[in-house]
Amino acid sequence: MRLFLDTANVEEIRRACEWGVISGVTTNPSLMAREKADPDAALREITSLVKGPVSAEALSLDCEGMVEEARRLARVADNIVVKLPMGVEGLKAVGRLKREGIKTNVTLVFSANQGLLAAIAGATYVSPFVGRLDDISHDGMGVVRQLAAIFSRYEMDTQIIAASIRHPLHVVEAALAGSDIATVPFKVLEQMVRHPLTDIGIERFLADWKGLMAARSRGAGG
């Protein structure tokens, strides 16, 4: 199980990389828009900070346009993975890009059938959107679970990125469901670190240590 950071914010990526727990980054047009930066410049900076895969989304809606965009994105850095939307045009582009050695991440996957098609087409990664399914009262993690079982049973190489992760419990559930990766917003990563009992434990250890030192120095004085 690996963790990617789901953001286009360079500062968040820089901070998370220092923790040593992030092995890739996923971006999308909405995350890029939030940063208001030049997307190409942002991608160059992100790919230099992160050694692992960095997903960047192609915006064309037809296969030819997707392939051209993918080739341009792949030239930005060796670790670029091109995100393509699920659909007939996306599937066609996946196969062509695979033959060219360009890695793909099929995004906006909301069913096991969509993920299966992406894997058969040759996608490197598929991204089921867990939170957005939960939002409409569907079992988002169920899609991850089904894909993990299918890929394992048929020994398919495509890796699952559990995406649209909204809270720490989603990460635990994705790990238990057999997801290869969960891509998490920085806020969720911060929430994963914390536990009130850890804070109380540290406080108590420090207080006891201080008490011990004070007692010993009193002893030495007397």
Residues annotated catalytic, as ranges: 83
Burial class (CB in 10 A: 0-12, 13-18, 19+), 45: middle
Q: In the Cβ-directed half-sphere of 199, how many Cα atoms lie within 13 Å?
A: 4
Stretch that binds ligand G3P, among 11-19, 41-49, 124-132, 186-194 (CB under 6 A): 124-132
User: Applying CB under 6 A, does 6 fall inside the site for ligand G3P?
Assistant: yes
One residue of 52, 85, 131, 168 binding ligand G3P per CB under 6 A: 131
* Residue in 147, 163, 177, 182 binding ligand G3P, rule: CB under 6 A: 163
**Whole-angstrom Cα distance, residue 210 to residue 56?**
51
* Positions in 29-68 near ligand G3P (CB under 6 A): none
In whole angstroms, what is the distance from residue 56 CA to residue 65 CA? 15
The answer to whether residue 71 forms part of the interface with ligand G3P (CB under 6 A) is no
Minimum Å distance from CB 54 to ligand G3P? Answer: 13
> How far from 143 is each of 89, 136, 138, 164, 179, CA to CA, in Å?
22, 14, 10, 13, 10
Binding status of residue 89 toward ligand G3P by CB under 6 A: no
Residues interacting with ligand G3P, by CB under 6 A?
A: 6, 26, 28, 127, 129, 131-132, 163-164, 183
